[in-house]
Amino acid sequence: LMFELDKVFRKKFSRRDFLKYSSSLAVLLGLSELYVPQIAKALESVTLKKQTVIWLSGASCSGCTVSFANTHYPSVAELVLDTLSIKYHETLMAASGDAAEEGLQEAIKQFEGKYLMVVEGAIPTKQDGIYCKIAGTTFLDKVKEVSKGAAYNVAMGTCASFGGIPASGPNPTGCKGLRDVIGGTVVNIPGCPAHPDWLVGTIVNLLLFNKVPGLDRHGRPQMFYGKLIHDNCPRRGSYEEGRFIKNHGEELPDIEACMGTKGCRGPITSADCPRRLWNSGVNFCIAANAPCAGCVEPDFPQMSLYEPIPEVAKTIKAAEAARDKSAISTLGASLGGAIAGAAAGAGGMYYAQEKAKRKATDKEEV
């Protein structure tokens, strides 16, 4: 994939459009408007560059390719996607057989040390990787070969980042994530699938600033994975008040109750889904009445999907105890107040620990 930004700017955009694009990029990257002049300056220098991307697909469902194709910032999509010159992408390219393989080898040679490698899907490693082969070569060897000449290595989706579904027990093919196979700095963009903005934003960041964005302890860009789902959840108020759903699809007003009782992993999952939203800003899991499954975390998928996670189970128990106490109290503080106090006691301690842990282990990697 070749991004010929110089052509885009020279042929299509006025100065006004250019600044508008810079604004969109600031939003995408989670930066304030104050950064627009800096982004515009960086974009101007980027117009002189050409960036090649080689996209390899292993043990995956191709959902991340579909998700990427749904990028919903029209201006950014136009900026990035309209200028593609597909060098190698097994799902999207027209070439097949020898022509496809020759194209890949040519791209590796011609753009050595400059291209971006994107890997989608887990990498089978058992028996020297014989469970996934492309053009007679194992995916394991292919990934190692292509990564050697790459300027940056990116894992797209949870399977490529941590193994994901193909690596879930009993994992007979020994599937692993990219970082575990090639080592070194890998930008992980997990999600099942990954949000298109997370990859587009990362690529734009690499192009603009010529460096890897700040990563957290799991190799994820902090700008997209820096906050717990729980901290921005529209049902957080219900959690604090001890209002939990008993069954899925309950009638209003309990439709807005917390889904911790149904295994919501929002309190231990870091992503910006509640603010960024999915499907062109339409919705996200919890707002659509489905608990967060923690799809961006290294331990996804969990088999106990609908069991309360231990941290929330404590809060549910505390809320129930407070409710019982309130029911027999004759003086009675308000029910909400009693439950909220007990819940905050159990939940608050967990958050203090979790946040201290994150602060200590997250680090900037460049």
In the chain the first and final C-alpha atoms are separated, in Å, by 24
Closer CB to ligand SF4, 133 or 236, in the complex: 236
Residue in 157, 163, 267, 347 binding ligand SF4, rule: CB under 6 A: 267
Pairing of strands 137-138, 123-124: unpaired
Residue in 146, 156, 259, 268 binding ligand SF4, rule: CB under 6 A: 259
Instruction: Please confirm, yes or no, whether 175 is among the known catalytic residues.
Output: no
Least CB distance to ligand SF4 at residue 189 (A): 12
Residue in 20, 114, 133, 236 binding ligand SF4, rule: CB under 6 A: 236
User: CB under 8 Å, gap of 24 or more: what pairs does 40-49 form?
Assistant: 42/208, 42/209, 43/5, 43/9, 43/18, 43/208, 46/5, 46/207, 46/208, 47/5, 47/6, 47/8, 47/9, 47/10, 48/6, 49/5, 49/207
264 binds ligand SF4 (CB under 6 A): yes
The whole-angstrom separation of Cα 72 and Cα 69 is 9
The whole-angstrom separation of Cα 52 and Cα 22 is 22
Closer CB to ligand SF4, 124 or 267, in the complex: 267
312 binds ligand SF4 (CB under 6 A): yes
Residue in 167, 201, 239, 346 binding ligand SF4, rule: CB under 6 A: 239
Scanning 43-51, 264-272, 322-330, 342-350 for contacts with ligand SF4 by CB under 6 A, the matching segment is 264-272
The set of residues, in sequence order, having a beta carbon less than 8 Å from that of 220 and lying 6+ positions away, is 161, 187, 188, 189, 190, 270, 296
159 binds ligand SF4 (CB under 6 A): no
Catalytic residue among 89, 132, 159, 175: 159
* Cβ(76)–Cβ(204) below 8 Å: yes
CA distances from 193 to 69, 306, 322 (A): 12, 20, 39
Catalytic residue among 89, 132, 175, 295: 295
Least CB distance to ligand SF4 at residue 60 (A): 16
Q: Is the peptide bond before 301 cis (omega within 30 degrees of 0)?
A: yes
Closer CB to ligand SF4, 200 or 296, in the complex: 296
Closer CB to ligand SF4, 166 or 191, in the complex: 191
The whole-angstrom separation of Cα 251 and Cα 243 is 14
Scanning 40-48, 55-63, 133-141, 257-265 for contacts with ligand SF4 by CB under 6 A, the matching segment is 257-265
Give me the DSSP letters along 276-304. Answer: H-BTTTTB-TGGGT-----TTSTTPSPS-
Residue in 233, 319, 322, 342 binding ligand SF4, rule: CB under 6 A: 233
Closer CB to ligand SF4, 142 or 276, in the complex: 276
* Cβ(182)–Cβ(123) below 8 Å: no
318 binds ligand SF4 (CB under 6 A): no
268 binds ligand SF4 (CB under 6 A): no
Please identify every residue annotated as catalytic: 61, 64, 159, 192, 230, 233, 258, 264, 273, 285, 292, 295
Residues that bind ligand SF4 (CB under 6 A): 229-230, 233, 235-236, 239, 258-260, 264, 266-267, 269, 271, 273, 284-286, 292-296, 312
